[in-house]
Every structure is written in C-alpha cells, then in structure tokens.
Amino acid sequence: MSLRKPLEIPVYKHVAGRKLLDLMVEADATLSTFDKLIDVLTELKVDIYSATIVRRGDLRSFEAFIDITESPLTLEELKKRVQSIPGVKRIEVAEEKLPGLAVRSFSYPLVIEEQPVVLIEQPIWAGFIQEFKRTYGSGALSILYHVGYQGGVVQARRWKPFIKDDPRRGIEALLLIAKAMGWGDIQLDEFSGKRIAVKVFDCPECAFLRGVAKTPQNQMLRGFLSGLFSEILGWEVTFSEERCIAKGDQYCLFIHEVKEPNKRQPS
Ligand SMILES: [Zn+2]
C-alpha cells in the first residue's frame, strides 16, 4: 500500500491575510523546555504551522513558522515572554518578508546526514527538462540518461558497504530513499532471474507531460535506476520504460530483461 501523505518541507510558508513569522528558539537540550514553549505560544494565541527541533551538542534549536494574527501581544512582548521560559538561551524572529509570507531564516545550508541538499520546485524542474529537450533534442535524452546513471552509481557506492550479501534488501532501501527524496513513488515490482521491474507512480520527470505524449518520456530516473542496479548487482542493467504516465498509463514501468545467464543473477 502506497503512502500518500505529503511532507511539507518548512522552507517558506505563505498564507494570504495572516501575519506569519519565522521563530527560532535555542534552549538547553531538555525536551520539557519545548513543552513549556508550546504551552506559552498556545496561551498567547500563537498558532504553529510547522516546527523542527534539532539537537546540536548540549543545545536544541527549535524553528517554526508561527501565525501571530490572533495574538493580543506585540512582537516585543511575545519575545520577552518566550525568553523568560527557564532553559531558553536565545530567541530570534524573522518578520514576514511579503504580506503573509515567512521564510526560514536561521538555518543554512539544508543538509541530509550532513550532506548539502538543493531543493528544486516542480515548475522549475519541469522547465529545466523541457528547455533542455527543446534545445538539444535527442542529444538531451542521452545526456539526461547518463547524468542519471552516474547519480545511481554514486548513490550505490555510498551504501554498498552496508548492503553486504542481500542485494534485494539493499536495493529496496535505496529505492525508498529515492522515494523519500521526491523522485516518485518507486516500488520494486519484480526481481527474478528473468526480469527486473520497477513501478513508479507520480514520477516528477513525466508528471508534467501526463497524458500528452505519444512515447515514454523518462530519461534521468531510468538512468538512475540502471546505474544503481548495475553497481549493486555487479552486472549491467539497462532499464527501458515500457509504460509511462506521460502517454496515459497509470504509472511508469521500467523493465530489464535478464540476458546474461553466466553472470550473477537476482535470487
Ligand atoms: Zn514515465
């Protein structure tokens, strides 16, 4: 069963007609300090859209998009009240940048497991792919595939030492990471000595062409999957896209027919 509950990444928040702020509170590492913080904000009629708590050594940092439209206090009064909570070391507030818009202001860069991450919103990503294909035609398709392939190899090499002798489990974990990163709802559909099949629902690379293309449209994820499987399994895997949401199918389907009987096969 596929999970369809979006994760809102707290980068910015826009709610027309409301007064939104980015609030950062640094406190000791005791979690109960944040209990008190939530109680105080609730008492002051401050709503919280989203919040993160991150531990760094002896301190924890709380950053949240808050809505102070209904609060009877001024911003200065609110800051003083939060500052008076035992355990709170520092409070910073970034006021709204446009009417109703708060932008995360107290943490940079974005990281996952200490590795910097770049987020690209779908319209910008779609524009990049479309413009690249329009300018370079079939050359773009090949470049996108090879760029994706290299990405798959890099990702597989990073995790290979932890995969040991259960390639299927390792591949499933890496597909789940790719899904969590937003590359589509990716599922390993078949993993046998004859065929490897991967289903992808809502693939971002094809979604913006949903139902309007005559042929499968995916290159980069197809390359990524090919590189990832090849590196983990130790033999060449080249996926072809047999179904695609861009040509009206329910999902994108990537197939590799196993042809090398003498090489190591999936079990
Ligand atoms: Zn597709």
pLDDT confidence of residue 3: 60
Q: What is the pLDDT of residues 116-145, one digit of tens each?
A: 999 999 889 889 999 999 999 989 999 999
* 242: in domain: yes
Calculate how far, in angstroms, residue 176's C-alpha sits from the geometric centre of ligand 1: 18
- Give Cα separations from 139 to 97, 222, 254 (angstroms): 42, 16, 21
Contact 233, 239 (CB under 8 A): no
What would you report as the CA-atom Rg of the chain, rounded to the nearest whole angstrom? 24
Please tell me whether residues 108 and 137 are part of one structural domain: no
Calculate how far, in angstroms, residue 234's C-alpha sits from the geometric centre of ligand 1: 26
pLDDT confidence of residue 266: 53
* 58: in domain: yes
Domain range for 84 is 12-113
Calculate how far, in angstroms, residue 218's C-alpha sits from the geometric centre of ligand 1: 5
Calculate how far, in angstroms, residue 2's C-alpha sits from the geometric centre of ligand 1: 18
Please tell me whether residues 137 and 109 are part of one structural domain: no
* 267: in domain: no
DSSP helix/strand/coil, 111: strand
Calculate how far, in angstroms, residue 249's C-alpha sits from the geometric centre of ligand 1: 9
* 266: in domain: no
Calculate how far, in angstroms, residue 60's C-alpha sits from the geometric centre of ligand 1: 42
Calculate how far, in angstroms, residue 135's C-alpha sits from the geometric centre of ligand 1: 21
Q: Specify the number of domains making up the chain.
A: 2
Please tell me whether residues 231 and 140 are part of one structural domain: yes
Tell me, what DSSP letter sits at residue 156? H
Token code pair at residue 205: 């690379």
Calculate how far, in angstroms, residue 211's C-alpha sits from the geometric centre of ligand 1: 10
Tell me, what DSSP letter sits at residue 246? G
Calculate how far, in angstroms, residue 169's C-alpha sits from the geometric centre of ligand 1: 25
How far is residue 93's CA from residue 103's CA, in Å, rounded to a whole number? 11
Residue 89: CATH number of its domain: 3.30.70.260
Instruction: Tell me the H-state helices in the chain.
Output: 32-43, 75-83, 122-136, 138-163, 167-180, 204-207, 220-233
Please tell me whether residues 85 and 153 are part of one structural domain: no
pLDDT confidence of residue 236: 95
In one-letter notation, the amino acid at residue 87 is G
Kindly give, in sequence order, each residue whose CB lies less than 8 Å from that of residue 267, ignoring residues fewer than 6 positions away. Answer: 168, 193
Calculate how far, in angstroms, residue 186's C-alpha sits from the geometric centre of ligand 1: 12
Please tell me whether residues 209 and 241 are part of one structural domain: yes
Calculate how far, in angstroms, residue 179's C-alpha sits from the geometric centre of ligand 1: 15
Calculate how far, in angstroms, residue 144's C-alpha sits from the geometric centre of ligand 1: 14
Please tell me whether residues 130 and 109 are part of one structural domain: no
How far is residue 125's CA from residue 172's CA, in Å, rounded to a whole number? 26
Please tell me whether residues 152 and 220 are part of one structural domain: yes
Residue 150: CATH number of its domain: 3.30.1380.20
Please tell me whether residues 103 and 131 are part of one structural domain: no
pLDDT confidence of residue 56: 85
| 0.75 exceeded by pTM | yes
φ and ψ at residue 64, rounded to 5 degrees = -150, 150
Please tell me whether residues 80 and 205 are part of one structural domain: no
What is the phi-psi region of residue 190: left when phi exceeds 0, alpha when psi lies from -120 to 50, beta otherwise?
beta
Work out the end-to-end distance of the chain between its first and last CA atoms, rounded to an integer number of angstroms: 24
* 90, 113, 136 - which closes a domain: 113
pLDDT confidence of residue 93: 95
pLDDT confidence of residue 5: 87
pLDDT confidence of residue 134: 93
Calculate how far, in angstroms, residue 229's C-alpha sits from the geometric centre of ligand 1: 18
| Edge-first strand listing for the sheet containing 47-56 | 47-56, 59-67, 20-28, 88-94
* 113, 136, 156 - which closes a domain: 113
pLDDT confidence of residue 267: 46
Note down pLDDT in tens along the chain; length 267 residues: 556 789 889 999 999 999 999 999 999 988 899 999 999 999 999 999 999 999 888 999 999 999 999 999 899 999 999 999 999 999 999 989 899 999 999 989 999 988 999 999 988 988 999 999 999 998 999 999 999 999 999 999 999 999 988 999 999 999 999 999 999 999 999 999 999 999 999 999 999 889 899 999 999 999 999 999 999 999 999 999 999 999 999 999 999 999 864 455 554
Please tell me whether residues 177 and 211 are part of one structural domain: yes
How far is residue 227's CA from residue 39's CA, in Å, rounded to a whole number? 50
In one-letter notation, the amino acid at residue 82 is V
* 60, 90, 113 - which closes a domain: 113
* 265: in domain: no
